Each structure stands twice: as structure tokens, then as C-alpha cells.
Structure 1
């Protein structure tokens, strides 16, 4: 028995603890985290209700940031640490106006930085990195980076989320709402009531009364209440409640009283503010806004892709307060920016580099012609000046590209500008007309040509030094002509040797070892020359000292040659004989050192081996050219589909000529086969005794070989040019306009927004009515000291009707008129938006055709430019015509101008061809977006060619059952009853109108004659009225 009482006592304790836990929880309410999670759950569920139509369905709608994002917040959002504050402002959080602030601001700590500290480490999880830790950027990676990091996409998602919260708020407003609470109050009143001033009717005057003895009160009252209210779709509202009270009196003998009350009240408007049109308006508006913003976000993703690729958003995106009828469409002007713009700038830089490389190779030939007095200095300087201009332009382009990459990284991808980026230029490979193999081979040939030139110059200097060494001791015995010729040769040797100084190695240890091994081969004078040169070069700034000495000697020889004549010849020679001897000796020493450094004895054989090694890359380049010609033939039928007959004939002739040119370059007189045979002949005839002759033959061979490679590069360039094509768009403007109206999500929203303004008229008109409402209330109480002893005799009931005449409706009248005007404005806006859409589509389709024609025009321009470069390069090989007797022949005085013009035309035409293709591609992407048919995969990338415009209707239809619209409006509704207007006109003194004015009358009386268009709505109306049959 005792165990039973123990168990009973334990159960009572558990009940008390449970009651206390419930009370504590009710005081605290839900936690911040629970409220946040509940809001998320309801918001996402609300969005999911509309996220099933394939026209705007989105795979993942969440405002939770990707943990890899730079903007991801790793901290608990409900207990986020305080950001780093401004120190001067922060002190007001602790003391403001002399009052202490809240001391718990820093309880969650202070965050060190605003961005995700791990985002750079996690970058490799979704972006490809190069060996230099640079982000390799292509379209796919740009889309991924933007969706993970761009604040623009996050802002759009958050706007959609906030709109869904608005819906939950409006639904809650029309849902049953419960309220409950408990109140505890203790009341004490003493037993003495203070004196007061009161009126004594017996004395008929005011007197001071009291104090008085009164009962003492010590009462504790506990009140509990629970109520529920609900607003109905008819604008009525009902409130029901229940309350009980427990009173405990502790004075004298303890007394307590328990009572309860149940009550209700309701109100139902009948005129103003009544009806579903008013009661459900805010809910209807919020629900429609959420649907509109879901569509807007789906369209935003299309614009987001175009912004990433071509730098143009072109859409509005979700708006917190719903869509408008002023819709954005293509304005008719659009360029290429974004990722494609970066690729365009990078490819233009490559074209500039190719042009600069070509100019430098041409300059070497011009300088060689100038040294042989076959061209004047003016033409050489023109080339030199243009090269400097090109270098400056290249610097500007490079800096501009880097700035564009920084802007793109920051503004589009949402990443800092110091993030290293490497563009993936695979898309631009088709525009690299000159094969990269050609560039590498030409660079190697230029390097080999430089080596051959240095060897030939050293051989020439050695021979000329030996001749001058024999002439200088007898210089005083020679006549003016011989002295002038000898000193001129000496000056040439000094200048050439001065140039050789820049090619000397910085470390002379190996050179000295070679010279020591060959010291026995040198005579006394040569040893002296070596010693003089080495003594200077071994100094810290010996090379600069020698350069200065040779420059001064060249200037001195120039002065001597300029002032020398028959009279002072002997004196000048005697006075400067030591100078001539010293400078000749020093030049010989430098030449010997350079010959040893370059291993002049064995270098010709090495040059032959390297030249033979460069034959195979040329054969591979021919193979590349043949493959490019095959690709050109494969794409020729597709190209010819859109050509006229004369264009086809020209295209076929160009292809035949291109194949003939390749064959001539391979097997012609100056072709590869003969060039290889010439090299083998030089190799087979090489010997130590013939090395000078071999180097002379190699000098001519390398020049011819380099020109062959440069001409060969133009063949695959022409073939690749013909392979570049674009996808044709066959779409009429009228069909495009209908497709856009059917598929553009913003125009769906625009039509819905216009209906919202139209509904606002009804809501505003409702406010003009009288106030007429039915009201009622009632309650029932307990009769005894029992909280459940309800009795009908204690109940009360009140019913009533409230009426307020519409006497003061000026503000409501103004609001109604404003609603009418706002509707008409938005109706006009929607019409204008449709006009702008049609205008933009027509302009876009014309632009596509224009860009396509421009592509063919620029293709022909590049072809002509390639031919001009080829012909002008050949002009350098043409022997100059013989001039007057005794005069040296000169090449054409406009050769440099022609070369510059041809090379500049090639660069400009390549840039224009690239721009035409990119503009067409950008316009095509833009067309898909403007038509509303751009389909994206779950990652946000465009599914290209998702719609074939010339294969039928491109419109998408929803799979769900759509609520049908009301039937068309009969024609009778279009008749305007102006009886009231007649009365108003008569009151104002104006002429009265005679009968109703219909649309047909207004069209013939008030408006000019226009071509009648049978809109579907008009055709339906005509069928209803029988007009179609009578006609």
C-alpha cells in the first residue's frame, strides 16, 4: 500500500515538472533558428507549388549559398559574430548620451573577414586550374563560377524568396489565428481610506470627509484566456474566445472564486469592403506576384547566361513589388562583350603579334637591301616607324585586355580582380588562320638565319682585316682614291665589330680556354690584338668601354673621311696612323674572341645539320595544309547552298587555284623539293676549305626557304578562312513576333500585371459605396463558483446593422480616378512594349542577315589581303630594273608603302572577319533570349540549337491543365452608351449626342481610314453577331 502512495506521489511530481516545462517553453516561444527554418520550409513549399510548369520550372530554388562560394558565411546565421566595426562609431554601442549601452554585443565574437576564408582553397573543386595556379576560363567554367559566386544571381533568388514570404503572410492573414495567455495580478488595499473633499447636501457646502475605515483587501487574481479569429473570403471576420479567472482573497478567512467566460463577435460588410473581390485582393496579388517572379527568375537565368557570354543581361529579373507592363526588349544595338569580348581582344592581340612578327622579318630584308644600296633609307625608316607604332598598339591592347579581364572577374563572376585568369581560347582556334607550326618554324629559321649571318660576317671581317693589315703600312704611299676606299673599309669593319660586341658571351672562361688551346696558331700581331681586347673585356664594365671606343673611332673615321682631300691627305694619314693601327688591332682581337666563342671552325657544319633538321617541320606543314584543304572541300557543299551561281563559280575557281598554289610550292621551281635538293648539294659539297662558300650558299638558301614557308602559310590560312561558317536562321519577323508573344515569360507577366491594374479599378470602385455591415456579439458566463457551470440565463447577445452614408468620398473618388488612369497608362505601356519587342526582333533579324553578309564580305577581304601580302613579299625577290649607266639599280620606291599597306590590310581584315562572326554569334544568342525559347541545362548553360526555327512552331506548351480564360467579349459590349454623357453635355451647355456611338462609327467618323485587320477577338465577335454570315 505504501508503494502505491509513493508511485502516486512520483507521478504528481512528474506532472508538475512537465507543467513547468510547458510554462517555460511558452514564455520563451520558438527559437530564432526554428523560426528561420519554418520560414524556409513554408517559402520553399509555396514556390514549389508553382515550379512544375516546364516553361519556367527551375531545378533548384534555394537562397542557401554554396559552401564553396566566396560570399558563403560559415557562421551560424542566428548567432553571427559582429563584423569589424569602425572604431569611432563603435563606441556609441557601449555608451550613448552618457548612458551605458547593451553589454552583450560581442558575445558571439568579432569576425576577422567578411568573405569565406576557404573559398580560394575550394576553388579547385569546381574550376580547372593550370600548373601556374591560374583559373582556366571557358564558357562552362565561367557559368559555374558565376552561379557559385555572383551576387547578382543570389540577389535574384532572395527577391523570389521574399516574394514567397509575402504569400505566406497573406495566407496567414486569412487563416484562423489563435491567441492565448495567462495573467497573474496581486492587489492590496489598506483598511483606512484617506480624507477627501466632498459635498455635504445637509450643509449645502463642500467639507473634508474622512478618513474612513474600509475592509482590507489582499487578493490574488489568475486569468487565463484563449481566443481565435478568422477573416473570411467574403470580408467578414469572426472572433471567439474563452477565459477563466481564479481569485483568492487572503484577508480574514481565505475566500476564492472561480469563474469563466465564453464570448464571440462577428462583422460582415455588405457594401463597402465586402465581397471576394476586395477580401482576396491582397492574397491574389501576392500569389500572382510570386508566380511572376518565378517566371522572372527563369528568364533572368537566360539573361544571366547572355551576360556571361556576350556581356548583356537584357532582362529585368524578379521584382519585390511585382511585374510591370513596361517591358525590356532588344533596342536594336548590341555588341560583343563578356567572355566572347575577352576572346576577341585576345585574338586581336594575336593578330597584332603576327603582324609585328611579319614586319620584323620584312625589316630584316629591307635592311639587307639598304646595306647593298638597293633601297633608300626613307623606306626602311617607314617600316621602322610603323613597327614602333605597332609595338605601342600592342602594349595598349595587352593592357586593355588585362583591364577587361579584371572587370569581367569582378563584375560578372563576383571574384576579386587579383585572381589569376587564363583564357581558354579553343573557340578562337578556327580564326588562327596562320598555323602555329608556321610561327614556330619561322622563328627557328630566323634564329638560324641570324647564326648564318653572324658566321658570314665573321668570315668577311676576318678576310677584310687581313687585307687591311697589309694595306695600312703602305697607306701613305697610296693615292686619294685608294686611301678613301681603305678608310671606308676600316670604318665598315669598326661598325661591324662594334655590333659583334653585343653578341659576346658574358663568361670568358670557356673562351679563354679555347684561345689558349689555339694560341700556337696565332702570330705575334694576333696575340697582341687578343691581349688588348681581353685586357679590356676582363674589366667589370669592359664591354661598355669597348663599345664606347668603337663608337668614338667610327665618329673619328667619319670626320677624317669628311675632311680629307688631295692637299691634306698626307698630313691626315701621318697624324692618324697610330689610330688606324690601334683600332685595326682591337677589331682583330674582338673578331678572334667572337670566332672562338662561336666555335667558328665547326659552326658551319652545325648550321648545315640544323638546316637539315628543319626540313621535316616543313613537310609536316605541307601535310597540315593538305588537311585544311580537305576540310575546305568537305564544307564546300554547305557553303554553296547559300551562294548564287556566279558566287559558286568563283568559289570553285578559288579552290582550284589554292590547290595549284600548294602544288607549285611543293614541286615548283622554287618549291620544297628543289629547296631540299639545294640544301643537300651544299651539305655534300661542304669542306673546311669550302666553308666560306658554303656559308655564302646557306645565306641565299635560308632566305629562299624562309620565303617559301611564309608563302606556304597563306595556303592553310585561305583554306581555314573558307571553313568558318555560321548557323543559318530562317525566320520571318511576323513569325518571330508571334513566337516571342507566346514564349516570353516577361510578356506573360506583363499581361498579368495589366490585369492587376484592371482589378484595382474594381477595388477602388468598391471604396465609393456606403458602409453597411452586420455586427453581432455574445457571451455566456458561469453562475456559481465553478469554472464550468455555464448557464443560459447568464448569456448576452447583441445583433446590429451599421450604416454610413457615402457623404465624404472625395479621397476615394480620387483614388478611383487614379486607378482608371493607371490602368490606361499600363495598357498603353503594354502596347508600346509589344511594339518595342516587334521593333527589336525585326532589327535583330536584319542584323543577323547583315552580319552574315558582312562575314562573306570580310572573308573575301581577307582573301584579297592574303594575296596582297604574298605578291608584295614576292616583289622583294624580283631583281630591280637596271638604271642609268654607272648608277646602282634600285627597287620600287613604293615597296615599303606597299608592304605596310598589305600587312596592315591583312590585320584589319582579320579583325573585321572575327568581329563579323562574333557579332553574328552574339546576335543569334540574343535572338534565342528575345524569343523566349532559350533552353538551359541544370547548370545554366545554353543548349545550343534547342529550337529549329525552320522546322515548325517553336512555341512551348505547358503540360499542366491551364484554367481557361473567359469567352471573347461580344460586339454589343463594344457599344458605348452615351445617354448619361448626353445629359452631362446638356448640363454643361454642349451639344447632345444622338444615340450610341459604336466602334465602327468611331472608326469611320473620328479616325483616318486604315487597313482592316481581322484580330481573333474581332473575328469571334463577328461570328457571334452574325456579321460574318451577312457579309
Structure 2
């Protein structure tokens, strides 16, 4: 008998020991990776169900950083390597956590270096940029595996350990790079998707906004629970327990379920296994059990769908807001990469809602209610590390503009340095004074200072741009100048035109040989027929015939013809002046005739003076050799003949000016249509399609719903509860022996008068104030959008007009500078004692001032042209960002289809009244915005 008792006791001990071991294994729960993956899967499923509208498609979204990013996260995500600690903090505080098997590592990726190397290789091969002589060696990079493991090969984010995450950039003191990385605008956008800290931060915000949705959805699911308590008790006879020797294992399981009306269902099964080994009859086993079912429904306070579903509603809507904000951010990110700046993004704090549960089942003394693990409104938001260092924005286009301005300044210094050398040569032969040389030197030093300032500005802009892309600040970077290429090509055309004309002048002056006067005509004919300046012109084709007509005339016929042409020419010039005084345009027929008469007059006069020169008439004047002066007069007439091909080439060059990209919306050309119609079309489209405005209107609805939720808390408490309790026999081992006789039913009514509601009253009043504020905020936001769009449209129209003016300014700057150089460097006349102006110091000063002014005007015109061009591109980008018309490709680059998708559309009919502008359905069915969700009451505004 004793052996039997001992054996039974040992069996009970083994059972309890096995049960304890099982609990010790199961209680810690699943692994970190399991919970992380479960959270990821639920979030991805939720996002997939929400991602159904094309206008805010969730693109370029991934929670883990791109493996090529500088902040890539390799290795075990749940147990990352310990980062290096601050020595003082480590020494002055406990250090309970140790590095573990993954050690200590500074995590910084290097994949972006490979991406930059690829971009650089492609770009330099495509544009065939000549590397400076000192770095003529082929571009190569040192191995980026020398400082650690290249984790990019076969990356598995959950595999480790690792020593480092590739290259930790240490600067370039030893010449790690042969030359800067050359990247284009499109590549900058793609690199930003990979490497921008701001972009990754916004991706994580979307994920964090989805986590409350998982929680609030779970709050309405059946929540199961199970717990167990094992007690081994032994007491001697002299204790209060009086010779106790027993095991007691108490178990409880059940579930809770919350309904949308606020009702709560609790089901619980409790069992206790008592093994008493101190009884007189030997070991006794008892298994008393209890089965309970409670149904709780608040009728007033805390009851109803409006209150109960509010936390879930807000969580779902906040996720939608964040998805739309993310889609909006992608466009803003492109605009920031391209243009820079710090745009103000409208944002209102997310409304926080929690169901009113005062004196309800949640947290009350109802048995078993504590097992409600997640209640509606609990954990509605998750805090995250804030963006401590907001990105400083400078943008690609501003940096390229600064590079263009620096190039202009450097070219200006080179040109002025050449001028200084020529002035020194002229000073050596007495054609210029020391004062004029000093003035040129003074201006040159001033321009050199400007070069230093421009270079400093460019370097600062590049550093800010690298920061924006998440690149190391000391990484060498060079931006492709493609945005300025159209203007650079146009300036090159003007420069070539001026150089060709200058070369023609030089070739004509080389014919000055008094001993070869008989060869002068042939030489000039050769220039007029074969020089580069006349190639490709109609002048070259018609000149021989027209000049032959003048050559065939006698002296008297030539004089009569010149007189006739000049009379008609003066009449046409007077007619032109009359039209200009009246503010009208001269008829095109008269313009053409005037041009023809000018050319005929210049050609005839040139033929007359050429004959006189060939006859050596007036070579001697007052006993002084005047041949050079006569030759210069002849060359001046010769150059006047070249005015026609010059104008012809200028007309061709003018037609080569790059056109400004068009600006259209909904079939309305915002640059060419009437200003009021353009402003209305832009504002209408913005108010209809702006994603952040959709969020603002939806958040106004959130504030409106909070009024009813807060008012619910002002009511009294009236709860209805039904309770069912069943028990099994207490002194036997029959844990599931429930019968009708052991069941107990209870119906409980609980009431509480609303005598003290000061906290709830204050909350309700604050809710009403918040509602009014939200209304005003939305009005202000709409006004801000309208103001921004109107300003941007007006700015674009002004830039378009300024661009047309600046084209003429640039052309004149080149021609005026060429004329100033020609005047300054014209050969000396005999008897003048040096220079075209002789030794007249005031004349020298005047010509020097003219030259310096023309040089400065050219620089100012070039810089103004670049600035207007870049400003226009920037304003256009900002406008289409604010119009929500920046569709992006997978690289994050704007798919600029304005020309085909908006300019060629039939224009929408203008609204009958301006008051309809704010009544546009935000995202009405059939439009780009998604489902119709909100209509604002009309409010009269002015668009003038």
C-alpha cells in the first residue's frame, strides 16, 4: 500500500514537473522574428487593400532600406550589432546589455558608391567629357571591400553575423577617386529614392500609420486567453493550514468579443485540480470547475456605434491620410531634388479618438473583464524617433545655375585678361596710356573676386545637395549641365557668328597693300563669296549678279542710281519713324523694300569708293599720305555690305532660341490665354486634385465626428448585463459535469446619474473649439493653395515675357561688345600719333569705358539669361507640383507629358461664376481624385 502511494506520489510529481517545464518553454512566447514577420504581413495586407486609387498609388514603398543605401541594414534585424557607445556614457552608467555574438559594428553601406560609379561611367562615355590632363588616366575606384565585407552580394537581411557593412567613408585625402562622380538630374532622383533619409522616414511613417489599424481591427475580433497557476503547498500540524500537503493547479481559458454597438461578450472556463496528499483516506483528487458567460451593453454613455467605432474609423482614415501624404511627398521630393527650397506642407495634427468607457465594463469590477486584452481606442498611435536633422535643400537646378554663372565669370576673366594683354601691347607703342591699362587691370581684379565668390557659392550648394541625397558631404560630386545645354548652345551660336564676322574683318584688312591695289577687288570678291561668314546664306547666291550690275555702270550712271535709291530709302525711313511714333508696325512690304534699298545703296557706294581707291584718288591730302585712312573708309563700306548676310544669319540664329516648355492644364495654355481664365483653370484643378487638401477636408470631418463622441461622455450611465454561471461538483473529479441545476442566471441594471461631469464638459467644449479651428484651417489652406497657384502662374507668365526681352538683350550684348572691340582696336590713322583717337586722353578713356561697359553687359546678359531659364523651369516644376500634376516613373522622375496630355485637350468650359470654384467635388467619381467624398459650401472669391 505504501509502495502504491509512493508510486502515485511520484507520478504526480513527474506530471507537475513536466507541466512546469512546458510552461517555462511556452511562456516566453514566439521569437522576435516571428512577431516582426507577423506585423509585416498584416501591414502589407492592409496596405494592399487600401492601395486601390491610381492617384495615390503606393509606389517605391519598402520598410527595409534599399541594400544600396548608405544606411542599409544588413544582418539580423532583430538582434543588430551593438553600435559604438559614447565612452563617458558607458563609464558613468550601468551596462546591462552586452554585444553578444554579433559584436560591435558601425553600420554604413557602400552600395551607393557602386551606383554612382555606374552613373559616372555611363555619363562620361555618353558625352565624351575630356578629363583634365592631370587626371588623364582611366577612371577607376579602389576596391570597396578593403574596409569590410561587401554585404550586397547575396544579401539576406536576416542572416548574420557581419563585421561591418562595407565601406565606411573616410574622405579622400589619399586620392581614392580619380575625379568627381558625374550624375544627371534623372540619376539624382533615382539615387534619392535609394539613399535619401527623408524618403525612408516617410516610408516608415506609412508603416507606423498601419500598425494602429491592425490593433483597432483586432479590438473587435474574438480575443482568446489562457493562464495557469501551479501551487505546491506543505504545512505542519501546528500551522493554521493544519497539516497540509497538496498540489493545486488552477487553469483558466476563454475569450472576449467586442461588438460595434459597444456590447462586450466574455466567456470563461476556470478549473482547479487539487491533489491532497494529507487526507485520512489517502491521496484525494478534486477538480472543481466554473463556466461563465457575461454579456454587457452600455445604453447611454459608452454605447452606440458612433462612439465604439470611432477609434477604428480614425485609424483607418489616418492610414489613408498617410498614404496620400506619402504620394504627395514623392512629388514634393522630386521638386526638392530638382529645385530645392523649403516648401510649406499643410499639416494638421491627427485627431485622437477614444471611446468613452467611464464606469463601463472596461476596467470596472466585473469579474473576468480584466481579460479584455485590447479595447477600442487603446494604443491608437505609436511614437517614433523624430527627424532630428531636417534635410537642407538646395536642389539640382540651382546648383547647375551656380555652375553656369561661375563658367560665365571665368570666361569673362579670360576675355578681360586678353584685353589687358592687348592694352599693354598698345601701351608699348603709345596707343594707350598707363591710366587706361590700370582701369582694365582694376576691372579684371574685380571680376576675379567675383569668380572666387561664385566658386564658394557652388561648393556650398553641392554640399547641401549631397546632404539632401544622403551622401557623405566630402564625396566628390559633379552635376551634368544638361538643363543649361540649350542656352549654352545658343550662346555658342552667337559667339561663332561674332567670331566669323571678326575673322572676315581681319581677312579684309590683310588686303591693305598699296603695291597690290589691282588685286584688292579680287580679294574682296573672294571674301564675299567663300568666307565662312557668308556660307549658307542667300546673300552668297544673289551677290555676284547684283554686284555685276553695279560694276557695269559708268561713273555717271552709278551716281544717278545711288541718288535715286537714297531718295526712296530716306522716304521709307521717314515712314518707319512715323509708324513708330504712332505705336504701329510698319507694313511688311515697306520693311522688305527698305531692306533691299539699304543693301543696294551700301553695295553701290562700296563699288563707287572701290573705284576711287583703285584710282588712288585722295591718297595724298594736304601733302600727307592718307592711303590708310582711305582704305579704312573703304573697309567700312565693305562691312556695311556684309550687314545683309549678318542680318540673315542673325535671323537664323534667333529662330534657334530654345522654346520655353509649355504650361497647360485641362486644355488651357496658362501662358497665352487671358490671365483671368488661366488663373481660374489653375486654381480649379488644384482644388480638385490636391492630395493634401483631400486630407484636410477629411480631417474636418474627423473633427465634426468628435463632437458627438465628446457629447456622449456627458450622459449618465445605464448598463445592462446578463450573467450566466455554472459550476461542477466541488469534491469530486468531474470538471465538466455541468447540469441545469447548477446554473445561475442574473440580469443586472447599472445606473449612474451625470452629477459630476466637469472633466467631460471641458473636453466637450474644447472639441467644439477644435471644430471651429479646423474649419478656419481648411479655409486658410484653400486660400494658401489658391495664392500659391496664382503667384506661380503670374510668375511664369512674367518669366516668359522677360525671356523674350532677354533674348534681345543677349544678342545686343554680343554685337555691342564686338563693336566696342572693333572701335578700340581699329588701326591707327596716319598723322595721328598713335591709335584711332590719337593721343587724346579723353577719347582713350571714352573707348575704354565703352569696352568695359560692353564686357560687363555681356556678362550680365549671360547671367540673366541663365537665371531666367532656370527660374522658369523651377517655377514650372513648383506649379505642377502644386497642381498635383507630377506623375513619376519608377525612378522617381517626372513624366513630363504636359505637351501631349494637357495642351492638346479641349479646354473645359469656364464656370458660370467664380463662386463655384470652391464647390468642386474633391476627387469626384470619374476624375483623378478617387471617390467623391466632400463638397464645400460655395464662398465667393476674386481671381483678379
Aligned partner of 1:724 in structure 2 is 658
Normalising by the residue count of structure 2, what TM-score does the alignment of the two structures yield? 0.66
1:352 alignment partner, one of 389, 396, 409 = 409
* Pairing 1:383–2:332 present: no
| Alpha-carbon distance between aligned partners in 2 of 1:930 and 1:780, rounded to the nearest angstrom | 66
Given that 1:231 and 1:237 are in contact with CA atoms closer than 8 Å, whether structure 2 keeps it comes out as yes
Report the counterpart of residue 678 of structure 1 in structure 2.
Answer: none
> Does the C-alpha gap of structure 1 residues 754 and 127 become closer, same or farther in structure 2, counting only changes over 3 Å?
farther
Name the CA distance, whole Å, in 1 between partners of 2:31 and 2:260. Answer: 32
* Structure 1: stretches of 5+ with no match in the other structure: 1-14, 96-100, 195-213, 325-335, 450-614, 627-643, 670-703, 970-998, 1000-1009, 1014-1031
| Counterpart pick for 1:365 among 422, 426, 433 | 422
1:420 aligns with 2:449: no
Determine if contact 1:81/1:106 at 8 Å carries over to the other structure. Answer: yes
Task: Pick the aligned partner of 2:864 from 902, 912, 920.
Answer: 912
Cross-structure match for 1:859: 807
1:220-369 alignment, distance < 5 Å: 220-252=247-279, 253-312=282-341, 314=343, 316=345, 321=350, 337-369=394-426
For 2:59 and 2:680, locate their aligned partners in 1 and report how far apart those are by CA, in whole Å.
33
1:83 matched to which residue of 2? 83
2:758 maps to 1:810: yes
- Name 1:754's counterpart in structure 2: 700
User: Any conservation in 1 of the 2:718–2:749 contact (CA below 8 Å)?
Assistant: yes
Partner of 1:120: 113
Deviations 1:28-75 (A, max 9, x none): 311001111111111121112111101111234221111010000222
Q: Does 1:156 align with 2:202?
A: yes
Question: How many angstroms does 1:260 deviate by?
Answer: 2.1
**How many residues in Structure 1 have an aligned counterpart in Structure 2?**
694
Q: CA deviation at 1:832?
A: 1.6
Q: Name stretches of at least 5 consecutive residues in structure 2 with no aligned partner.
A: 1-14, 125-138, 140-177, 354-392, 507-526, 539-582, 609-637, 664-668, 671-677, 909-921
Name 2:886's counterpart in structure 1: 934
Alignment partner, residue 453 of structure 2: 396
Structure 1 residues 263, 928: CA separation in 2 closer, same or farther (over 3 Å shift)?
same
Query: CA–CA distance in 2 between the matches of 1:651 and 1:120?
Result: 65
d(CA) in 1 for partners of 2:819, 2:865? 21
Cα deviations by residue, 1:733-757 (Å, 9 ceiling, x for unpaired): 1222111111000111010000000
Separation (CA, whole Å) in 2 of partners of 1:318 and 1:42: 27
1:916 Cα deviation from its structure 2 partner:
1.3
Aligned-partner SS, 2:288? strand
Change (3 A) 1:347 1:32: same
- Measure how far apart 1:795 and its partner are: 1.8
**Contact 1:714–1:866 at 8 Å: present in 2 too?**
no
CA–CA separation in structure 2 for the residues paired with 1:668 and 1:915: 47
Pick from 170, 173, 180 the counterpart of residue 216 of structure 2. Answer: 170
Most deviating of 215-224 and 116-125:
116-125
Q: Do 2:295 and 2:723's aligned partners in 1 also have CA atoms closer than 8 Å?
A: yes
Look up the match of 1:872: 820
Cα offset for 1:854? Answer: 0.8
Alignment match of 1:828 (pick from 768, 771, 776): 776
1:890 is matched with which residue? Answer: 839
CA distance in 2, matches of 1:366, 1:342: 36
**Would the aligned equivalents of 1:848 and 1:920 in 2 still touch at CA under 8 Å?**
yes
TM superposition shift of 1:148: 0.7
Q: Which is higher, the Rg of structure 1 or of structure 2?
A: 1
What is the aligned-residue RMSD (CA, Å)? Answer: 4.4
Which residues of 2 match residues 975-990 of structure 1 at below 5 A? none
CA distance in 2, matches of 1:357, 1:45: 64
In terms of fraction of residues, the more helix-rich structure is 1
Contact 1:293 1:322 in 2 (8 A): no
**Match of 2:229?**
183
The residue number in structure 1 matching 2:795 is 847
Q: Quick check: 2:924–2:930 contact (8 Å CA) kept in 1?
A: no
In 2: Cα distance, 1:648 partner to 1:768 partner:
84
How far apart, in 2, do the equivalents of 1:393 and 1:886 lie? 34
> Is 2:905 the partner of 1:951?
yes
Provide, for residues 645-703 of structure 1, a one-character-per-residue CA deviation record: whole Å limited to 9, x for no partner.
9499799989999x99xx99xx999xxxxxxxxxxxxxxxxxxxxxxxxxxxxxxxxxx
Change beyond 3 A, Cα 1:89–1:964: closer
Q: CA deviation at 1:964?
A: 6.2
Are the equivalent residues in 1 in contact too, given 2:683–2:786 (CA < 8 A)? yes
CA shift, 1:158, in A, is 0.6
**1:84 and 1:110 in contact (8 A); partners too:** no
Over residues 115-168 of structure 1, what are the superposed CA-to-partner deviations in whole Å (9 max), with x where a residue is unaligned? Answer: 225553454356657533532221111101111111100111111110000111
Report how far residue 441 of structure 1 moved: 13
Query: Residues 608-623 of structure 1 correspond to what in structure 2 (within 5 A)?
Result: none
Separation in structure 2 between the aligned mates of residue 760 and residue 789 of structure 1, nearest angstrom: 50
